[in-house]
Amino acid sequence: MIQLSIQNLTKRYKTGDGVSGINIDVGKGELVTLLGPSGCGKTTVLRSIGGFLEPDSGDILIEGKSVLKLPPEKRPTAMVFQGYNLWPHMNVYNNLAFGLKIRKKSKSEIDEAIRRVLDLVRLPGSEKKYPGQLSGGQQQRIAVARAFLLEPAVLLLDEPFSALDAKLRHEMREELRDIQASTGLTMVFVTHDQEEALSISDRIIVMNAGNIEQMATPQEIYDHPKTLFVAQFIGKMNFIQGKAEGSHVHVKQLRYANTEQLQGDVTVAVRPEDIAISKPDEGMRATIHQIMILGHYAEVSLETECGNLKAFLPRDSVKDMYPGQFVGITFSKVLTYKSA
C-alpha cells in the first residue's frame, strides 16, 4: 500500500537551484533514503513533504489525499530538521510534551510516553535538562524522540544522526531499524553518507543536482549502479578507461561483453572485491604497491598499465604477497559506462 506519493514535484528557488520532476512512491512501513551530495536537493524534497516549502508544481499525497493545502502542523507528518531545533527556553520534558499536550493527552500518559521514548534514545532521566546543557548529539536524539512521540503517518528525518560519534551513530541506526520493524512507521530519511544509506534503507533514492539518478534497493544500487554518478558515489570503486567495439569492451588485453552496447571510449568500473590476483602471466600485469590488513580483509594497492587500482582480498590470501611483487590481475565482474 502506498503511504506517501510525490508526483512530479518541482521547486526552484530564485537562484535557479532546487529540484525538478521528482516522482517517489513510499510504501507503508517502508524506510526510504534520499542520498546525494551537499546541495543536490534532499532537504528541499523533505521540507516540501513536511509543508515547510511550497512547491512550484506537482502534488504530494499521504494515504491517498493531497496534503499540499495543509500547513505543517495539520499534516500527518513529523520532521526532524537538519540541525535539530529544540526550543532553548524549554527543558527536555516540555520540548517532548508540547505536541502531546496539544493532543490533549493526560499528564500520566504524557509522563509514561516521555519516559519510554527517553529510554529508547538512551537519555533516561534527562527530563529537567535544557537543550543548552546537552551535547549536539544528545540534542539530536531529543529531536528524534520528539518526532517519534507524534506518531506520524510519515516520519521525515533530515540527517538525524550527523552529530553523533561513529559508535552511537551505528547504534542509533540499529534502533531506528528496530523501531521501524516494531511500529511499521513509514520513514523518509535524508543522508549524504552512502554507508548509512546502504545499511538502513529498504530503498535508496540517489539524487544529483536536483534530479533522481536511481531509485532501488541497496543491493541493486550497489551491484548495478545505473549511471557513472551512482557508481562514483556508492561504495569503493576502481575506474579504468576502456574501448567498446561491437560485442566487446576492451581494457588492454582483457575483454568483456559489451552488455550496454556502447561504442568508443568507455569507463569500466570494478569493485575492489571483484579483482582477483593470479600468476604474472595471467590477465593484466600489475605490481603490488602496498598491502594493508584491515581486520578480516586486506586492501592491496596495485600499479598497473591502467593506473593504480585497489583490491580487497581475504586476509589469508595475502599472506605470501609482498610489495614489489609482479602479479597478474583479472576482474570477475565489470560495469561499463559511456565516458563522461
Ligand X SMILES: Nc1ncnc2c1ncn2[C@@H]1O[C@H](COP(=O)(O)OP(=O)(O)OP(=O)(O)O)[C@@H](O)[C@H]1O
Task: Find the binder of ligand X among 43, 194, 201, 208 (CB under 6 A).
Answer: 43
**Residue 206 beta carbon to ligand X: minimum distance, rounded to whole angstroms:** 12
Q: Mask of contacts with ligand X, 235-274, x by CB under 6 A? A: ----------------------------------------
- Segment contacting Mg ion (CB under 5 A): 43-51, 93-101, 239-247, 321-329? 43-51
The residues facing 187 across adjacent strands are: 31, 155
User: How many other CB atoms sit within 10 Å of the CB of residue 93?
Assistant: 17
Cell representation of residue 87:
526550543
CA atoms 221, 217, 58, 76: torsion sign: negative
SS3 262: coil
Amino acid letter, residue 164: L
Q: Tell me the pairing of strands 154-158 and 186-191.
A: parallel
Ranges of H-type helices in 227-320: 228-233
Residue 253 contact partner, candidates Mg ion, ligand X, none, CB within 5 to 8 A by sort of partner: none
Q: Is 179 exposed, middle or buried (0-12, 13-18, 19+ CB in 10 A)?
A: middle
Between CA 124 and CA 145 the distance in angstroms is: 12
Q: Does 83 interact with ligand X (rule: CB under 6 A)?
A: no
- Segment contacting Mg ion (CB under 5 A): 74-82, 242-250, 264-272, 289-297? 74-82
Site for ligand X in 117-136 (CB under 6 A): none
Task: Between 156 and 234, name the residue whose CB sits nearer to Mg ion.
Answer: 156
| Residues 161/80, Cβ–Cβ less than 8 Å | no
| Residues 79/46, Cβ–Cβ less than 8 Å | yes
| Residues 158/190, Cβ–Cβ less than 8 Å | yes
- Segment contacting ligand X (CB under 6 A): 31-39, 84-92, 144-152, 299-307? 31-39
Q: Mask of contacts with Mg ion, 81-100, x by CB under 5 A? A: -x------------------
Task: Find the binder of ligand X among 192, 203, 271, 310 (CB under 6 A).
Answer: 192
**Residue 235 beta carbon to ligand X: minimum distance, rounded to whole angstroms:** 19
CA 191, distance to chain mean position in Å, is 5
Residue 40 contact partner, candidates Mg ion, ligand X, none, CB within 5 to 8 A by sort of partner: ligand X
**Residue 1 beta carbon to ligand X: minimum distance, rounded to whole angstroms:** 28
**Residue 84 beta carbon to ligand X: minimum distance, rounded to whole angstroms:** 13
Dump strand ranges (E) for the chain.
2-12, 18-27, 31-35, 57-62, 65-66, 77-80, 154-158, 186-191, 203-208, 211-216, 238-245, 248-251, 254-257, 264-270, 275-278, 284-294, 297-304, 307-314, 326-331, 335-338
Task: For residue 80, give the nearest of 131, 154, 30 by alpha carbon.
Answer: 154
Q: Does 108 interact with ligand X (rule: CB under 6 A)?
A: no
Task: Find the binder of ligand X among 4, 6, 9, 18 (CB under 6 A).
Answer: 18
Task: Find the binder of ligand X among 3, 22, 41, 198 (CB under 6 A).
Answer: 41
- Segment contacting Mg ion (CB under 5 A): 38-46, 145-153, 231-239, 263-271? 38-46
- Segment contacting Mg ion (CB under 5 A): 1-9, 78-86, 214-222, 234-242? 78-86
Q: Does 43 interact with Mg ion (rule: CB under 5 A)?
A: yes
Q: Does 44 interact with ligand X (rule: CB under 6 A)?
A: yes
**Residue 223 beta carbon to Mg ion: minimum distance, rounded to whole angstroms:** 28
Positions in the binding site for Mg ion (CB under 5 A):
43, 82
Residues of this chain that interact with ligand X (CB under 6 A) are 13, 15, 17-18, 36, 38-44, 82, 192
